[in-house]
């Protein structure tokens, strides 16, 4: 399925949730009167509208945040039931929090009914969503006819993807080749390339996809021009470079078109928003936690000789070096003792020792609950770091990176990251790297918020720290 079709489907599911939650809300409010409860429950019209509006907004936002809509179109029954339950449970909790914030005496029976009704209604709709979407497209949509130029492995793979998208109104008419022959069987009809003009007239083709190598593509300018004159959209499979498969977009330098491959987030507006969020939250956290920071600094000084703050050079965005701050959790000469303890290190590249003998009396506690990391809020405020991003590495580690691992330096390092949610110090170095790449490839502001919120219980319980 094309990404634009995927966006439409996600929007359709979100809009459906708005309608379904409003039905569940009305049913729960009416059913509450039939429960054998002693206390009466009544909402004034303004209260009813406010809570209904909050519910109609909260459920779709949670669905988007939990990425429920990305799995619905082809999800299995257990996945639909699980995702709908998580969305409904969090929605009910959110509604209770709203109740407390506006000091509304909300019936627990009503909230329970709303959770049950919404889960049942969402599941019933989502389990039949594919049929509903298909019916809407058949009744109100227009078929989208596609031709593929080329018969190689890339063209065949595209053809299979188009066939799998038939429920979305996409129809693969066939493949085009110079001599009308193919080395291997194709999933649709094969035509000589010379028949393209007649196919455009006969089938009202919506678009033509050129899946040929770069040398052949340069020889097909006339065909591209023919499609352009006929008003037919053309697409070019640009995977000429096998391993360059990140974001691809067209940019312009004055009148010169530039096909751009981006291996890291490049949306300036969203990156500015990320930086503003960092500034606001880091400043607020520093002000709010000032007494705690002072108390921890005093405890570090009292329990072991040396400064309260440990400073170290780390690699930041694009490899730029900066001074990294944290509460000292090891003895003052820890760096000098590192060589004598190298035989205890079980990690490749990263130096990590279980039950490190260099820890101070409170060092283990500070590390277990990530209290030692709090001074990095100052690094976030300065712009050296972000709240979320790959953890900053020391230069000696970066020098040992493989080429593909250096891409993690293209994102501003962070206080917390994706792999911190899945094991922290118990994960191996290769898993760290793969998780950092996964974060970079899928980065969004929503993902940042998700990581931040999930980090809180992980840190409070101390799980995965060594």
Backbone angles phi, psi at 248, to 5 degrees: -125, 130
Whole-angstrom distance, CA of residue 185 vs CA of residue 156: 9
Strands annotated E in 14-169: 144-149
Whole-angstrom distance, CA of residue 124 vs CA of residue 30: 21
Whole-angstrom distance, CA of residue 350 vs CA of residue 431: 12
Of the candidates 114, 122, 117, the residue with the CA atom closest to the CA atom of residue 80 = 122
| Torsion of the alpha carbons at 97, 98, 99 and 100, rounded to the nearest 10 | 60
Please report the pLDDT score of residue 432 as a whole number.
84
Backbone angles phi, psi at 400, to 5 degrees: -100, 0
User: 210: which residues sit within 8 A by CB, 6+ positions away?
Assistant: 149, 150, 217, 220, 223, 224, 234, 235, 236, 237
Of the candidates 453, 264, 296, the residue with the CA atom closest to the CA atom of residue 374 = 296
Q: Is the separation of the CB atoms in 371 and 365 below 8 Å?
A: yes
Please report the pLDDT score of residue 278 as a whole number.
95
| Torsion of the alpha carbons at 171, 247, 65 and 393, rounded to the nearest 10 | 150
Domains of the chain, earliest start first: 3-135 (no CATH), 142-240 (3.40.50.720), 268-461 (no CATH)
Whole-angstrom distance, CA of residue 182 vs CA of residue 189: 11
Whole-angstrom distance, CA of residue 275 vs CA of residue 326: 21
Whole-angstrom distance, CA of residue 442 vs CA of residue 444: 7
Q: How far apart are the first and last CA of the chain?
A: 44
273-283, pLDDT tens digit by residue? 999 999 999 99
Whole-angstrom distance, CA of residue 330 vs CA of residue 341: 14
Whole-angstrom distance, CA of residue 419 vs CA of residue 435: 6
Whole-angstrom distance, CA of residue 432 vs CA of residue 416: 12
Please report the pLDDT score of residue 134 as a whole number.
60
Please report the pLDDT score of residue 350 as a whole number.
67
Whole-angstrom distance, CA of residue 358 vs CA of residue 342: 13
Per-residue pLDDT of the chain (466 residues; tens, 9 = 90+): 555 556 667 787 888 899 999 999 999 888 887 777 667 777 788 888 888 898 999 999 988 888 787 766 555 788 888 889 999 999 999 888 887 777 777 778 888 889 999 999 999 888 877 666 666 555 555 678 899 999 888 888 889 888 887 766 788 999 998 877 777 888 888 999 889 988 888 888 889 999 888 788 888 888 888 888 888 889 888 766 655 556 777 777 777 878 777 778 887 888 999 999 999 999 999 999 999 999 999 999 999 999 999 999 999 998 899 999 999 988 887 777 776 776 666 666 666 676 777 888 998 899 888 899 999 999 999 999 999 999 999 998 888 888 888 888 889 999 998 888 776 666 777 888 888 988 998 898 888 998 998 888 888 876 655 5
Whole-angstrom distance, CA of residue 217 vs CA of residue 207: 16
Please report the pLDDT score of residue 339 as a whole number.
67
Whole-angstrom distance, CA of residue 333 vs CA of residue 304: 11
244-261, pLDDT tens digit by residue? 556 777 777 777 878 777
Provide the 3-class DSSP secondary structure of residue 230: coil
Q: Is the separation of the CB atoms in 281 and 451 below 8 Å?
A: no
Whole-angstrom distance, CA of residue 211 vs CA of residue 430: 34
Longest Cα pair distance anywhere in the chain, in angstroms? Answer: 86
Q: Is the separation of the CB atoms in 176 and 193 below 8 Å?
A: yes
Of the candidates 21, 133, 114, the residue with the CA atom closest to the CA atom of residue 72 = 133
Please report the pLDDT score of residue 42 as a whole number.
76
What is the value of pTM for the model shown?
0.65
294-317, pLDDT tens digit by residue? 999 999 999 999 999 999 999 999
As a whole number, the mean pLDDT across the chain is: 83
Beta bridge partners of 191: 176
Radius of gyration, alpha carbons of the chain: 28
Please report the pLDDT score of residue 248 as a whole number.
75
């Amino acid at each position: 399925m094309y990404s634009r079709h995927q966006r439409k489907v996600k929007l359709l599911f979100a809009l459906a949730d708005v309608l379904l939650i409003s039905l569940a809300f009305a049913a729960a409010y009416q059913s509450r009167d039939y429960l054998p409860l002693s206390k009466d429950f009544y909402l004034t019209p303004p209260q009813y509208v406010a809570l209904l509006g909050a519910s109609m907004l909260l459920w779709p936002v949670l669905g988007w945040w939990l990425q429920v809509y990305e799995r619905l179109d082809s999800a299995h029954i257990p996945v639909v039931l699980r995702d709908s339950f998580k969305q409904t449970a969090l929605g009910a909790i959110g509604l209770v929090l709203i109740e407390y914030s506006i000091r509304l005496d909300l019936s627990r029976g009503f909230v329970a009914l709303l959770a049950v009704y919404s889960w049942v209604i969402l599941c019933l709709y989502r389990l039949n969503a594919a049929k509903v979407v298909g019916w809407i497209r058949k009744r109100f949509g227009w078929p989208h006819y596609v031709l593929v130029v080329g018969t190689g492995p890339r063209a065949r793979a595209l053809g299979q993807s188009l066939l799998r998208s038939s429920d979305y109104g996409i129809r693969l008419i066939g493949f085009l080749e110079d001599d009308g022959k193919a080395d291997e069987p194709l999933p649709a009809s094969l035509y000589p390339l010379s028949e393209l003009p007649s196919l455009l007239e006969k089938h009202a083709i919506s678009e033509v996809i050129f899946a040929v190598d770069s040398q052949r593509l340069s020889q097909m300018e006339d065909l591209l021009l023919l499609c352009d004159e006929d008003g037919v959209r053309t697409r070019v499979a640009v995977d000429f470079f096998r391993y360059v498969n990140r974001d691809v977009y067209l940019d312009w330098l004055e009148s010169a078109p530039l096909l751009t491959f981006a291996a890291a987030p490049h949306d300036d507006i969203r990156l500015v928003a990320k930086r503003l969020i960092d500034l606001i939250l880091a400043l607020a956290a520093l002000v709010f936690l000032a007494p705690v920071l002072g108390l921890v600094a005093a405890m570090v000084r009292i329990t072991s000789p040396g400064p309260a703050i440990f400073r170290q050079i780390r690699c930041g965005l694009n490899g730029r070096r900066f001074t990294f701050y944290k509460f000292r959790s090891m003895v003052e000469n820890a760096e000098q003792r590192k060589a004598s303890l190298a035989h205890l290190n079980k990690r490749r590249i990263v130096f990590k020792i279980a039950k490190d003998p260099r820890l101070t009396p409170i060092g283990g506690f500070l590390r277990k609950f990530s209290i030692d990391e709090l001074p990095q809020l100052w690094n976030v405020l300065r712009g050296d770091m972000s709240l979320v991003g790959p953890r900053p590495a020391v230069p000696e580690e970066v020098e040992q990176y493989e080429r593909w691992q250096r891409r993690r330096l293209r994102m501003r390092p962070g206080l917390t990251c994706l792999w911190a949610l899945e094991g922290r110090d118990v994960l191996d170095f290769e898993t760290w790297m793969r998780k950092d790449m996964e974060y970079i490839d899928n980065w969004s502001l929503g993902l940042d918020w998700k990581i931040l919120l999930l980090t809180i219980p992980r840190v409070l319980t101390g799980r995965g720290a060594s």
